[in-house]
């Protein structure tokens, strides 16, 4: 009962902050509402028993990535804070198209008689993993044992991105 | 000594848990606020003592009521709201700064469990399975308050301060997390009570077997709290006072409180992670150990044990707080590029090495079947001592550790160069006329 109430509360917060994120004209306000969305999502993850995902959501997205976002916004927008971002019909059509695609994905995942997660037995699988390896191990053990190659490839991709950023920023490397 | 089952995690009834939690929250919150107020006084007293002054001594006995007077002054003073500021964000920023600083106390275990007629009460507000990560996440949120304050003030000094704070805290968060990794390797869990139990089982506080991680953690803790020698964001000689230049009265005070609350959190965290938390040294009467099924075994809890362990925890936290203050009044401020170089070019590569070597040692010890105990700890101590020695030698580059002898050679060289240049000058321009 209590967790139901909490779920609807945080879901409401998430939806409202997400709407505020896309409707604010001031980019700093948008960024802060996005942080709010992340918090609400983290709370929902925690309610589902996924403590680790919830806290990583805050640690990585709210704590690191959004700070960098804010950083960039502040440096780019000095002086003209309220410039509208969407200039023209093409952008609006593209935005609406992306939103539709996301909506279709959401309907596919959540819709129907039961969700994909339940249908594939994902809930039981997650519970078993948590019982065996603990909250952090449930993510860590599969990631570093079964999926170690994809993990390393992702790491390589990030390294390439970092090197690329350095090369772009410093033309005379 | 024999360990007996003591309690099951989450043993209290739901009502009991709620009541106990409310009481714990109220007590901890009040104690933290009063402690933070007294820390401001302690800081001024210590600085006065170090500079051979008296410090605040007019309000109350020995100046003890000075924080009350300061608080009253800050509440009663007129607030100034700069016209060019972004109003909403300007008001929001102090709140964003103070909230994370006040939340982080929830996961720190303060003492051994307290036996009550209704069951055993754990001396931590929220015993989360992700305690360490929670602390890291929420202490990293403090940067929002500072960055937003800098931007919302519409003042170039404030903006520069905010940007510096953002860059600095993000840089040192990496070092903070990496130096924490060794502790987590050793404990195998991210729950803070488990960290304390792990140190009791090892028979050594982690400051000894993980000495180099401890050093790095301490340095990055200074950077995270924006204290001297890392107080670049407020550097008053360059930026007026940085991000809170435009703030006055209680809004300024909230930034101030947030800073001291951060100092308190970080001190508590270091005491828990590296100095055994509430563990009393050389005594196994307070030892505990968590089992896989959630049962906790250990010595029988008692009220006097709770009080004694609480005292141990306060003493350890106090040690770090006093060190924070002594260092603040001893060292000058870094230059900005030095701060960034230290974080990215020195600490990050060094920590990557440390993490790899520590993980390798732990893996080797586990494979060799060494039991988790004193021998295990001593091997790690030796490995860490070697790493610490190499690191200090590299850092030193023959300046301090190698002592006066190395400096003498350098000076002789400098003298020889100077003499050579003078002679050359004299040859070119003729010797100065005598008499």
Higher model confidence: residue A121 or residue B346?
A: B346
| Residue range of the domain that includes A74 | 1-83
User: What pLDDT is recorded for position A152?
Assistant: 92
H-only helix segments in B295-373: 303-328, 336-341, 348-367
Mutate to test the interface with A, among B14, B130, B163, B177 (most CBs of A within 10 A): B130
Q: Do A67 and B189 touch (CB under 8 A)?
A: no
Chain-chain contact of B147 with A63 (C-beta, under 8 angstroms): no
CA distance B141 to chain A (A): 5
Residues of B with CB under 8 A from a CB of A: 86, 88-89, 92, 128-130, 133-134, 136-138, 140-141, 143-144, 147-148, 150-151, 159, 162-163, 166-167, 169-170, 173, 189-190
Position B426 in a domain: no
Q: Mean of the pLDDT values across residues A47-65?
A: 85
* Range among A11-15, A111-115, B198-202 rated most confident: A11-15
Contact pairs from chain A to chain B, CB under 8 Å? 73
Task: Give me the pLDDT at residue B404, please.
Answer: 58
Task: Output the six-digit token pair for B27.
Answer: 């007590």
Residue B339's contacts (CB-CB under 8 Å, 6 or more residues apart) are B168, B171, B223, B230, B232
The shortest CB-CB distance from A28 to any of B89, B173, B190 is to B89
Cβ distance B173 to A63 less than 8 Å, yes or no, reads: yes
The C-alpha atoms of residue B278 and residue B196 are separated, in whole angstroms, by: 7
Q: How many angstroms away from the CA of A55 is the closest CA of chain B?
A: 6
C-alpha–C-alpha distance, residues B411 and B402, integer Å: 14
Are residues B137 and A67, on separate chains, in Cβ contact within 8 Å?
Answer: no
Residue B419 counted as domain residue: no
Residue A30 lies in a domain: yes
Question: Above 60 in pLDDT, residue A61?
Answer: yes
User: Could you count the other beta carbons within 10 Å of the beta carbon of residue A157?
Assistant: 10
Return d(Cα B90, Cα B255) in angstroms, integer: 12
User: According to the model, what pLDDT value does residue B113 have?
Assistant: 79
Residue A37 confidence class, pLDDT cut points 50, 70, 90 = very high
Domain assignment present for A76: yes
Average pLDDT over residues B370-382: 83
Question: Which of the four pLDDT bands, split at 50, 70 and 90, describes residue A156?
Answer: very high
The SS3 call for residue B123 is strand
Cβ–Cβ below 8 Å for A52 and B130: yes
- Paired with B297 in beta bridges are B5, B289
Comparison of pLDDT for B242 and A123, the residue scoring more: B242
- Asked if B122 contacts B193 with a C-beta cutoff of 8 angstroms, the reply is yes
Task: Give chain A positions within 8 Å (CB) of B92.
Answer: 32
Residues of chain A found within 8 Å of residue B166, distances taken between Cβ atoms: 67, 70-71
B304-343 residue pLDDT tens: 888 888 888 999 999 999 999 998 888 888 888 888 888 8
pLDDT value at residue A82: 57
The DSSP-derived string for B195-263 is: HHHHHHHHTS-TTTTTHHHHHHHHHHHHHHTT-TTS-TTT-HHHHTTGGGTT--HHHHHHHHHHHHHHH
Q: Are B182 and B247 in contact (CB under 8 A)?
A: no
Across A121-139, average pLDDT: 75
End-to-end Cα separation, chain A, in angstroms: 60
The residue with greater pLDDT, A108 or B414, is: B414
Nearest partner of A70 among B147, B149, B97, B168, judged by Cα: B147
Q: How does residue A11 score in pLDDT terms, banded at 50, 70 and 90?
A: very high
**Is the peptide bond prior to B194 cis by the omega test (within 30 degrees of 0)?**
no
Query: Hey, of A136, A144, A155, which one would you mutate to test binding to chain B, going by the most B CBs within 10 A of its CB?
Result: A136
**Higher-pLDDT residue of B365, B17:** B365
Q: Give the containing element (helix H, strand E) for B130.
A: none
Average pLDDT, chain B: 82
Residue A118 has pLDDT above 70, yes or no: no
Distance CA B408, CA B415 (A): 10
| Least confident segment among B126-135, B214-223, B292-301 | B292-301
Alpha carbon of B76: minimum distance to chain A alpha carbons (Å): 31
* B240 phi-psi bin (left φ>0, alpha ψ -120 to 50, beta other): left
- Structural domain boundaries enclosing B56: 6-396
User: Would you say residue A159 has pLDDT above 90?
Assistant: yes
Q: What global pTM score does this model have?
A: 0.83
pLDDT the model gives residue B238: 77
**Which one of B88, B132, B135, B137 would you mutate to disrupt binding with A, by most A Cβ within 10 Å of its Cβ?**
B137
What integer pLDDT is reported at residue A150 of this predicted model? 92
Answer whether residue B39 is part of any domain.
yes
How distant is the Cα of A56 from the closest Cα of chain B, in angstroms? 8
Which ipTM was obtained for this model? 0.77
- Give yes or no for residue B200 having a pLDDT over 50: yes
- Residue of B85, B129, B173, B290 to mutate, interface with A, max A Cβ within 10 Å: B129
**How far is A62 from chain B, CA to nearest CA, in Å?**
7
Q: What is the pLDDT of residue A49?
A: 76
Task: Quote the pLDDT of residue B403.
Answer: 57
pLDDT at A171 over 50: yes
B86, B129, B137 member nearest A135 (Cβ):
B129
For the record, the structure tokens of B129 come out as: 């399975």
Query: What integer is the mean pLDDT of A15-28?
Result: 86
Task: State mean pLDDT over B187-213.
Answer: 84
pLDDT band of residue B1 (cuts 50, 70, 90) is: very low
Residue in B110, B120, B132, B134 with CA at minimum distance from that of residue B17 = B120
**Is position A42 within any domain?**
yes
B144–A35 CB contact, under 8 Å: yes
pLDDT of residue A97: 92
Residues of A in contact with B143 (CB under 8 A): 63, 67
Residue B140 CB contacts under 8 Å (≥ 6 apart), including other chains: A59, A63, A64, B169, B173
Nearest Cα residue in chain A from B169? A64
Of the candidates B92, B129, B166, the beta carbon closest to that of A67 is on: B166
- What is the distance in angstroms between the Cα of A104 and the nearest Cα belonging to chain B? 33
Residue of B nearest to A72 (CA): B163
Residues in chain A: 173
Q: Are A67 and B143 in contact (CB under 8 A)?
A: yes
Task: Report the pLDDT averaged over residues B191-209.
Answer: 84
- DSSP, res B331: S
Q: Do B129 and A74 touch (CB under 8 A)?
A: no
Would you call B140 and A68 a contact, using CB atoms and an 8 Å cutoff? no
- Closest by CA to B266, choosing from B339, B327, B308, B209, is B327
Token representation of residue B225: 């709290």
The total number of structural domains that make up chain B: 1
**Could you tell me if residue B427 is inside a domain?**
no
Residue A19 within a domain: yes
**How high is the pLDDT of residue B315?**
92
pLDDT digits (tens, 9 = 90+) for B52-104: 888 888 887 888 888 888 888 888 888 888 878 788 888 888 888 888 888 88
Percent of the residues in chain B that have a pLDDT greater than 70, as a whole number: 91
Residue A111, pLDDT above cutoff 60: yes
pLDDT tens for A81-105 read 555 555 678 888 888 899 899 998 8
CATH code, domain with A15: 1.20.120.1200
The number of domains in chain A is 1
Compute the nearest-CA separation of B142 from chain A (Å).
9
Residues in A whose CB is inside 8 Å of some CB of B read 28-29, 32, 35, 51-52, 54-56, 58-59, 62-64, 67-68, 70-71, 74-75, 78, 81, 134-136
The answer to whether the beta carbons of residues A74 and A28 sit under 8 Å apart is yes
């Amino acid at each position: 009962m209590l967790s139901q109430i909490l779920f609807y509360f945080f879901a409401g917060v998430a939806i409202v902050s997400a709407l505020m994120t896309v409707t604010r004209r001031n980019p700093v306000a948008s960024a802060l509402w996005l942080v709010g969305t992340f918090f609400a999502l983290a709370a929902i993850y925690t309610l589902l028993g996924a403590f680790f995902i919830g806290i990583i959501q805050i640690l990585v997205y709210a704590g690191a990535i959004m700070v960098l976002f804010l950083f960039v916004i502040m440096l780019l927008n000095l002086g003209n804070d309220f410039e509208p971002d969407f200039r023209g019909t093409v952008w609006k059509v593209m935005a609406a198209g992306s939103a539709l695609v996301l909506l279709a994905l959401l309907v596919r995942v959540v819709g129907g008689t039961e969700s994909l997660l339940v249908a594939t037995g994902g809930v039981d699988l997650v519970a078993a993993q948590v019982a065996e390896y603990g909250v952090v191990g449930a993510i860590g053990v599969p990631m570093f044992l079964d999926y170690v190659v994809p993990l390393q490839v992702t790491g390589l991709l990030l390294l390439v991105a970092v090197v690329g950023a350095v090369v772009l920023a410093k033309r005379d490397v | 000594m024999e360990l007996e089952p003591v309690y099951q995690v989450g043993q209290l009834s739901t009502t009991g848990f709620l009541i106990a939690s409310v009481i714990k929250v109220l007590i901890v919150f009040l104690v933290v606020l009063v402690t933070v107020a007294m820390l401001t006084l302690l800081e001024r007293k210590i600085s006065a003592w170090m500079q051979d002054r008296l410090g605040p001594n007019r309000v109350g006995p020995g100046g003890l009521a000075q924080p009350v007077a300061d608080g009253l002054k800050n509440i009663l003073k007129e607030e100034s709201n700069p016209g060019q500021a972004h109003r909403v964000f300007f008001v929001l920023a102090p709140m964003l700064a103070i909230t994370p600083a006040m939340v982080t106390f929830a996961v720190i275990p303060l003492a051994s469990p307290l036996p009550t007629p209704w069951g055993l009460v754990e001396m931590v507000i929220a015993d989360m399975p992700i305690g360490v990560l929670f602390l890291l996440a929420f202490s990293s949120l403090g940067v929002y308050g500072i960055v937003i304050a800098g931007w919302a003030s519409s003042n170039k000094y404030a903006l520069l301060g905010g940007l510096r704070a953002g860059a600095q805290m993000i840089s040192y968060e990496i070092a903070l997390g990496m130096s924490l990794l060794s502790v987590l390797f050793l404990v195998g869990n991210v729950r803070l009570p488990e960290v304390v139990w792990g140190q009791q089982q090892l028979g050594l506080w982690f400051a000894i077997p993980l000495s180099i991680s401890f050093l790095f953690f301490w340095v990055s803790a200074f950077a995270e709290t924006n204290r001297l020698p890392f107080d670049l964001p407020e550097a008053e000689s360059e930026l007026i006072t940085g991000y809170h230049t435009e703030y006055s009265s209680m809004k300024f005070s909230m930034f101030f409180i947030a800073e001291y609350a951060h100092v308190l959190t970080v001190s508590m965290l270091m005491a828990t992670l590296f100095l055994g938390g509430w563990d009393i040294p050389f005594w196994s009467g307070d030892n505990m150990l968590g089992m896989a099924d959630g049962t906790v075994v250990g010595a029988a809890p008692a009220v006097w044990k709770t009080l004694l362990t609480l005292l141990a925890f306060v003493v350890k936290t106090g040690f770090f707080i006093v060190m924070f203050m002594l260092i603040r009044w001893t060292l000058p401020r870094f230059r900005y590029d030095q701060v960034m170089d230290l974080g990215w070019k020195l600490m990050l590569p060094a920590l990557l090495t440390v993490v790899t070597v520590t993980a390798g040692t732990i893996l080797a010890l586990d494979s060799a079947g060494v039991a988790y105990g004193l021998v295990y700890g001593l091997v790690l101590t030796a490995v860490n001592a070697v790493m610490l020695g190499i690191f200090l030698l590299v850092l030193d580059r023959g300046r301090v550790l190698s002592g006066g002898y190395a400096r003498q050679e350098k000076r002789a060289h400098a003298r020889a160069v100077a003499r050579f240049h003078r002679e050359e000058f004299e040859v070119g321009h003729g010797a100065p006329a005598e008499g």
